[in-house]
Amino acid sequence: MDGVIALYKERGMTSHDCISRLRKILHTKKIGHTGTLDPNVDGVLPICIGQATKISELLMGSGKVYRGSITLGMAYDTEDLDGHLIATKAIERPLSSEQIDGLLQKLTGHIMQVPPMYSAVKINGHKLYEYARRGEVIHREPRPIFIQSFKQTKVSSFDEKKQTQTIFFEVACSKGTYVRTLAVDFGKLINTPSVMSSLTRIKSGGFDISQCVTLEQVDKASGSDTLSDIIEPLSTALSDYPAYQLDDSRWKIISNGGFLDQSILPDREPIVRLVYQGETKALYQFDEPKKVYRPFKMFLKNN
C-alpha cells in the first residue's frame, strides 16, 4: 500500500490523532503526515503511506493556501482563540476595504516573522510552548518566509456591540509560516490588538480541499476494499516533476541504483521522475559536476 491520502482534518483533532486512527484503519505503521495542523484548524492534511513516506518532506515544502479571519479589537496569548485574552481595544471606526487591502499588501513578499511562543519551535532543546506554559518568554530570532498573496475574500464585518471588526482573508504562503502570527502582525501595523479567529487550510502538498476525504470515508473504503479509489499513487503526488519513461535496459540500471547519462533529458531538469511500466520508480537529481542523473528518492517496491 503506497500513495497519498488527501485527508480532511476536522477541528478538535490533532494531526497525531489522525495518524493514530489511520494506522488502525489501514493496519500499517508506515504512515506520516506532511505538516501539522493545530487542533482548532481544519482542512487539507496530506497523509503519506508506505513508499510515499519518502516524499513527505517534498510535499511539506510546497506552498500552502489558507482561508480564515482576523478579528481586530482583542488579542490572545496563543494568537488564536484557544488561549487567554490579554488585551482589548474598542474599534470605534472600522477600516475600509481599501485600507484593509493596503495593510494586507504590506505583509506580502519576502518578510521576516518571529515564531509565536505557543509553537513547537525548539530553542535550547525545549519547545517554545513548554516555556510559554511556564509563563516564560524566550527570545526568538525572526525567520524568513514568503507570502505569495494575502487578500480579502469578502467584505469585513463590524460588531457594534462588541466593537470589533472581523476581516476575512485568503493567504498563499511558504512552509514555516505561522498564519496566526500574520493576524497579530496585521494588528501591529495599526497599533491594534488582533487575533486569528478562524482558519482552514484549503491547499497543501499539491492537493486541494475539494479532493479531500474524511476519516470515516477512509474507514468505509477499507471495509469495502475500495481504498484504491481514495489513495493517490506516487505518480499523481509527484506529477509536478517531469517524467521520463524507462526502457528495459535503463530500468535495469535504475533497479541497481545506477546513474543515468544527461542525454535522457537535454533540458537538464533539476529533478526528474522515472517511470517504468506505468509506475513511478524513482526521483533522480541532476549532478552538475558529473553531468549525470543520480538517485534522489527510490520507490522500487511500490506496486
Q: What is the count of structural domains for the chain? A: 3
- Residues, the chain, total? 303
Cβ atoms within 10 A of the Cβ of 191, count? 7
Quick one: 70 and 161 in the same domain?
yes
Quick one: 224 and 275 in the same domain?
no
Q: What is the pLDDT of residues 86-98, one digit of tens each?
A: 999 999 999 999 9
Q: Which of 110-124, 155-169, 208-222, 251-265 has the lowest mean pLDDT?
A: 251-265
Q: Is the pLDDT of residue 302 over 50?
A: no
Q: What is the pLDDT of residues 32-50, one digit of tens each?
A: 888 788 899 999 999 999 9
For residue 303, is it within any domain?
no
Q: What is the pLDDT of residues 49-99, one digit of tens each?
A: 998 899 888 888 778 999 999 999 999 999 999 999 999 999 999 999 999
The mean predicted confidence, pLDDT, of the chain is 91
Q: What is residue 31's predicted lDDT score, i.e. its pLDDT?
A: 92
For residue 122, is it within any domain?
yes
Q: Is the pLDDT of residue 222 over 50?
A: yes
Q: What is residue 33's predicted lDDT score, i.e. its pLDDT?
A: 82
Q: Is the pLDDT of residue 303 over 60?
A: no
One-letter-per-residue 3-state SS of 53-83:
HHHHHHHHCCCEEEEEEEEECEEECCCECCC
Report the alpha-carbon distance of residue 44 to residue 15 in Å, rounded. Answer: 11
Quick one: 141 and 79 in the same domain?
yes
Radius of gyration of the chain (CA): 23
Quick one: 20 and 78 in the same domain?
no
| β-bridge mates for residue 6, sequence order | 46
Average pLDDT estimate for 197-225: 94
pTM higher than the cut 0.75: yes
Q: What is the pLDDT of residues 124-140, one digit of tens each?
A: 888 898 998 998 888 99
Quick one: 81 and 177 in the same domain?
yes
For residue 105, is it within any domain?
yes
Higher-pLDDT residue of 241 and 153 is 153
Q: Dihedral of CA 279/280/282/285: which sign?
A: positive
Report the alpha-carbon distance of residue 257 to residue 247 in Å, rounded. Answer: 15
For residue 48, is it within any domain?
yes
Instruction: Report residue 266's pLDDT band, with 50, 70 and 90 as the boundaries.
Output: low
For residue 174, is it within any domain?
yes
The boundaries of the domain holding residue 282 are: 241-298
Quick one: 49 and 147 in the same domain?
no
Active site residue 38: yes
Q: What is residue 48's predicted lDDT score, i.e. its pLDDT?
A: 93
For residue 42, is it within any domain?
yes
Quick one: 196 and 210 in the same domain?
no
Q: Which of 2, 38, 42, 80 is catalytic?
A: 38
Quick one: 92 and 134 in the same domain?
yes
**Nearest by Cα to 297 from 281, 278, 275, 276:** 281
Quick one: 141 and 245 in the same domain?
no
Higher-pLDDT residue of 302 and 260 is 260
Q: Is the pLDDT of residue 154 over 60?
A: yes
What one-character-per-residue DSSP string does 216-245 give? HHHHHHHHTT-GGGTSB-HHHHTTTSPEEE
Q: What is the pLDDT of residues 268-289, one digit of tens each?
A: 788 999 999 988 999 999 988 8
Q: What percent of the chain has pLDDT over 70?
A: 98
Quick one: 42 and 128 in the same domain?
no
Cβ atoms within 10 A of the Cβ of 94, count? 20
- Here the CATH number for the domain that contains residue 270 is 2.30.130.10
